Amino acid sequence: MTKNSARTWVKSSYSGGDNGSCVEIAFGEQVIPVRDSKRADESPVVEFGREAFAAFLGSVTTDR
């Protein structure tokens, strides 16, 4: 985990406009950092390797 830094964070297009529960990601060269958008300034950041994140997205999009 790393501290939040000067990354450009992106919230899912599936999240509502009411600042509801959602995660944000930022694109890095070797890792994909993920954080809680509700507590962005204090949330821990979990970093996934690109292959692990791609496998996660594949699982989510196929309902596995």
Query: Please, how many CA atoms are within 13 Å of residue 23, restricted to the half-sphere of its CB?
Result: 10
Average pLDDT, the chain: 80
pLDDT score of 1: 47
Give the global pTM: 0.71
Choose between 19 and 8: higher pLDDT. 8
pLDDT score of 16: 65
pLDDT at 47 over 80: yes
Cα–Cα distance for residue pair 5/16, rounded to 1 Å: 25
Cα–Cα distance for residue pair 28/7, rounded to 1 Å: 9
The set of residues, in sequence order, having a beta carbon less than 8 Å from that of 46 and lying 6+ positions away, is: 1, 33, 34, 35
